[in-house]
């Protein structure tokens, strides 16, 4: 995929990354970023087939907070397809390079937001391991309210 076609594609996404800025992205990083953008867009659209194309057949997904480990792309996909909740993904940022990428996003289940971090490890262009952490929103502690601003 050419740099120009990647720019055209990325500019159509809600989270646009300017490839003309001063960062030095290599082509592999650009392709990974595009794959991640497609993954999260498919996740939000409940397009389970497209959502899981990013994973290797032997991928592992872990949820440390619940102690769950799901092994295999098909099993990961089936576990997500069985989820009864209405969900919405709002990507806040994607950062990474090489084989390690992190996505911060808000995952809203049935109208209730959960601040989420996804850590993806890549091997040969596909996710081999993903770890997800979830955090419920809370009000700032009264002792620090004079110093904090609100995140939009």
The CATH number that applies at residue 119 is 3.10.450.50
Q: Has residue 148 been placed in a domain?
A: no
pLDDT at 122: 97
Q: Has residue 91 been placed in a domain?
A: yes
Q: Has residue 149 been placed in a domain?
A: no
Q: Has residue 62 been placed in a domain?
A: yes
Q: Has residue 9 been placed in a domain?
A: yes
Q: Has residue 152 been placed in a domain?
A: no
Q: Has residue 146 been placed in a domain?
A: no
pLDDT at 44: 95
- Measured between alpha carbons, how far is 87 from 48 in angstroms, rounded to an integer? 13
pLDDT at 14: 47
pLDDT at 27: 58
pLDDT one-digit tens code per residue, 48-70: 999 999 999 999 999 999 999 99
Spans of the chain, pLDDT less than 70: 1-27
pLDDT at 23: 47
Torsion, Cα 111 114 115 119, to 10 degrees, reads -120
Question: Domain range holding 84?
Answer: 3-138
Q: How does DSSP classify residue 149?
A: -
pLDDT at 103: 98
Per-residue b or e along 20-57, where b marks 16 or more CB atoms closer than 10 Å to that residue's CB:
eeeeebeeeebebbbbbbbbbbbbbeeeeeebbebbbe
Residue length, the chain?
152
Q: Has residue 143 been placed in a domain?
A: no
| Overall domain count for the chain | 1
């Amino acid at each position: 995929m050419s740099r120009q076609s990647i720019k055209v594609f990325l500019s159509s996404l809600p989270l646009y990354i300017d490839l003309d800025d001063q960062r030095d992205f290599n082509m592999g990083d650009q392709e990974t970023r595009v794959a991640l953008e497609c993954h999260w867009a498919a996740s939000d659209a409940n397009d389970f087939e497209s959502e899981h194309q990013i994973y290797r057949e032997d991928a592992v997904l872990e949820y440390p907070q619940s102690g769950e480990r799901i092994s295999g792309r098909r099993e990961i996909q089936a576990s997500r397809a069985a989820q009864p909740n209405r969900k919405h993904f709002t990507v806040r940022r994607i950062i990474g390079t090489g084989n390690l990428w992190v996505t911060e996003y808000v995952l809203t289940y049935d109208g209730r937001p959960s601040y989420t971090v996804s850590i993806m490890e890549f091997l040969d262009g596909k996710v081999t391991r993903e770890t997800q952490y979830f955090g419920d929103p809370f009000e700032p502690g009264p002792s620090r309210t004079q110093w904090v601003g609100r995140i939009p």
